Structure 1
Amino acid sequence: MPVDMSVFGGGRWVRTQPGNLHTHGSIEPVMSILDIRGFPMHDMFLIGHNDDCGTIVLPTESRAENAAAALGPAYETRVHLMRHHSGQEVWATDYTRRAPDGTTLSAFITNLTLQDGRQVIKDGRWVR
């Protein structure tokens, strides 16, 4: 039995939209992409960690798979069972934006230089 997504509403930083849609954080452009590609914008919790990555929490595996399909190929996605408790399942689609060449960028660390002066991450990509 899938969980009622209204349990995610009501938090201080969570916005509740019509259709049992709950949002937190940076949700653009993901929300626009889902809308343009015809993904039903109801019964879900969209968490944007930043503009490049986040998680969509959904009540069923099929909706999580459909969200992943709607985001591809612009985003790398991973669908997984987030929680199973008392017969209720919560599924999640994690997403990370891809660069135009298809590589996945680091969503958190964009540049990293070690103390010895060697740069290991440049513009979100590992330097080899």
Structure 2
Amino acid sequence: MAIDMSTFGGSRWVTTHPNNLHTHGSLEPVMSILDVRGFPLHDMFLIGINDSCGTIVLPSESRAENAAAALEPAYETRVYIMGRRQGEDVWATDYTRRASDGTTLSAFITDLTLEDGRQVIKDGRWVR
């Protein structure tokens, strides 16, 4: 039996929608992409860190894998067991938006230069 996702609702910062969908933070365009790609928007907790990245908490591995597949290739994704709640595994799909050339942009740091003068992030992209 999978965890009941309604346990993630109830906080003043979490919005509860029909179909046991719970959201927090910045949600566009990820919800639109999931909807357009036919991923059912129910039984999940969507945490939008900002417009470019976030986490989708889901009750099963198959739903987490399906969410990742729906977001690819527009987002880089990672599926993992987030932990246990109420004795059940809780799965998550992390997502980070990709640029049109396929590179993954840094969602938080746009430019980073090390003490030795080597620039490792420029315009949100890792410099190799």
TM-score (norm. length: structure 2)? 0.93
Deviations 1:4-61 (A, max 9, x none): 0000001011000111100001110000000011110000000001111100000011
1:56 aligns with 2:56: yes
1:72 aligns with 2:72: yes
Give 1:67 shift.
0.3
**When the two structures are aligned, how many residues end up with a matched partner?**
128
Q: Within 2, Cα distance between the matches of 1:62 and 1:115? A: 44
- Percent identity over the alignment is 80
1:100 aligns with 2:100: yes
Partner amino acid for 2:119?
Q
Q: Within 2, Cα distance between the matches of 1:90 and 1:98? A: 26
SS of match in other structure, 1:101: coil
Q: Which residue pairs with 2:90 in the alignment?
A: 90
Q: Which residue pairs with 1:28 in the alignment?
A: 28
Q: Which residue pairs with 1:124 in the alignment?
A: 124
When structure 1 is superposed on structure 2, of 114-123 and 39-48 the one drifting more is 114-123
Partner amino acid for 1:8?
F
* RMSD (Å) for aligned C-alpha atoms: 1.4
**Stretches of 4+ aligned residues off by more than 4 angstroms:** 114-118
Q: Which residue pairs with 1:16 in the alignment?
A: 16
Mark the runs of 5 or more structure 2 residues left unpaired by the alignment: none
SS of match in other structure, 1:65: helix
Q: Within 1, Cα distance between the matches of 2:60 and 2:114? A: 43
